[in-house]
Amino acid sequence: MPNTTNKDYTKYSQRQLFNLMNKKEQEIEKLKRDRAYLEKKWLKS
């Protein structure tokens, strides 16, 4: 049975892929910042 969760990115243009990667990188950075903030908050309390 094929794995349907794997997305086929071959239909995307190079620009779309670049934008997608950029968006994902920004999401990751936000998660890192949120995590660092929460860890500091938890250490204080």
Around Cβ 45, how many Cβ atoms within 10 Å?
A: 4
Q: What would the pLDDT profile of 3-40 be if each residue is shown by its tens digit? A: 667 788 788 899 999 999 999 999 999 999 999 999 99
Which pLDDT value is given to residue 23? 98
State residue 5's pLDDT score: 72
**Structural tokens at position 13:** 């243009």
3-class SS letters over 22-43: HHHHHHHHHHHHHHHHHHHHHH
Residue 43, CA distances (Å) to 18, 31, 37, 38, 40 in order: 38, 18, 10, 9, 5
pLDDT value of position 35: 97
Q: Domain spans of the chain?
A: 12-44
pLDDT of residue 2: 60
